[in-house]
Chains A and B, each alone.
Chain A
């Protein structure tokens, strides 16, 4: 991807709360439905939670609830796409990706059909429902399907725009959305492209590369670090695959140290994607914020993000650690 990366030079840290990215998905689906009669939406008895119910209300004839049967739903999406329709199938990320995985591979990735999948309730920030409902491996699973684009938007503007980009992209796409309300990072004028990071600030001491909810925590960390005289840039890497290698290489060259932050197991997610790009283009010290080889538990979203090391102070801590290594390596 060529890099005409968007730069918002002023760090923002007092963020207003917006709607959840899952709600933005529902809104965008309705917009798509009005624009394209070929769009068909499937859900697996979670339409009210994924917000695909918004589409159902507007276009009942083009909406199919498949019941609690994700494997069949993914296969149907594959069949619809093979017959020329543009299917969007949604459920909780953990059920869609984990229960539908063989079908995502056989009926979607392997034949390379034009079908779209949206997993809501990603990460541990869903809170009290606990680990059985918390997708902490969806990035890794979906990145391991050849040809898939994998997205994780940070706020409602990003999510809504990416739903439209998904529809425009020919081929399989997965997007994670969140249950909790998301801080507003962007405005109506911001643009988003698949495979292109959105940059916040142009600090050159360290680059923080994050996706999903971790972007707002990274912006908080950026503000705190600035008070200490550390100038960080934040890259919103909403596209985990194909990752924006140009922006990563540039960040590595200009900053000399990188921290990644994701609401996902450290195995096979954003950190792994970024590390590969860094190793290939411009090796620099890296630290990784993410879930450490465990499943979480029931609690409020805030308690969980704190306990499992995903909030701004942990990103700050990781920055300090990586800066020590950067100094040593100079």
Chain B
């Protein structure tokens, strides 16, 4: 490390039970934000909650008091439509005031419909046109190597997004250059806008595909912190000698029963009564955590 940050300020949640409560709270935020915005993508935001929580509260080296810390680990949300979850996490980590969440998608808000670092500089990249995040991540990983810095770059992609050809250009490049400082997490929620991924253009088997391209590839349950945290920690351990791909099986709309596994909730905002029902269900679930 060329510079030192005050790592005591980095948010960290040690207890799995507390992480589960956090995930529940984030889901309530997400449903309320998208409901208030009147548009957005609840399904793919709810599926990535545990992955983002583990990243920001257990794995990433970052500092909300010094967002531009040069040695911070990078995170790129390539599936940009899942940004409500990222915004909620950033608020929880102290990068945003919680009250800003209700401005999602409104004129002048830092919380744009898809991630836009012009409005929210703490974001590492602008995304929303699918298939581009891994390439951007490769650029950052190469820069880290050239600058002899040990920060790690994480990219989260969706499974539908993986249909974009650019991913496979990037998938060839990263192992060839032995970018072990790069990790791709695929939020494999098995759905995309028009329906189930397997019925549109099946991307399976994802782990085997990435393995064949030369990645260290693992498959996990993306909602189980006991699997997510070790997989992320292993990815940035520097022991694999190659980039890591974590295929995280998830449930689109996770936590809200009427949204779960229903492609209709890819890009539709819940109406006020639906927000109320979802929040009620999530509150009830919280009491059992």
Interface residues of A (CB under 8 A from B): 40, 61-62, 64, 66-67, 69, 71-85, 87, 102-103, 105-107, 110-112
Contacts and interface: CB of A to CB of B under 8 A. Distances in A.
Nearest to B155: A79
Interface residues of B, number: 32
B118 A112 contact: yes
Given A79-B138, A110-B126, 7 more contacts: A40-B143, A40-B146, A61-B146, A75-B134, A76-B139, A111-B118, A111-B125
Given A69-B169, A106-B132, A110-B126, A79 B146 contact: no
Interface of B: 70, 74, 116-118, 124-129, 132, 134-144, 146-147, 165-166, 169-170, 172-173, 177
Contacts, number: 106
Contacts of A111: 117-118, 125-126
Contacts of B74: 83
17 contacts: A69-B173, A72-B170, A72-B173, A73-B135, A76-B138, A77-B139, A79-B137, A80-B139, A80-B143, A82-B140, A83-B147, A85-B142, A102-B129, A106-B127, A107-B126, A107-B135, A112-B118
A69 B172 contact: yes
A237 B177 CA distance: 41
Contacts of A78: 125, 135-136, 139
Contact of B142 (A80, A107, A110): A80
B172 A62 contact: no
Nearest to A100: B166
Contacts of B127: 106
Contact of A83 (B135, B139, B169): B139
Contacts of A84: 70, 143, 147
B135 A71 contact: yes
Nearest to B125: A82
Contacts of A83: 74, 139-140, 143-144, 147
User: Sorted from nearest, which 9 A-B pairs have the closest CB atoms?
Assistant: A79-B139, A75-B135, A83-B143, A72-B169, A69-B169, A79-B136, A80-B139, A76-B139, A71-B166
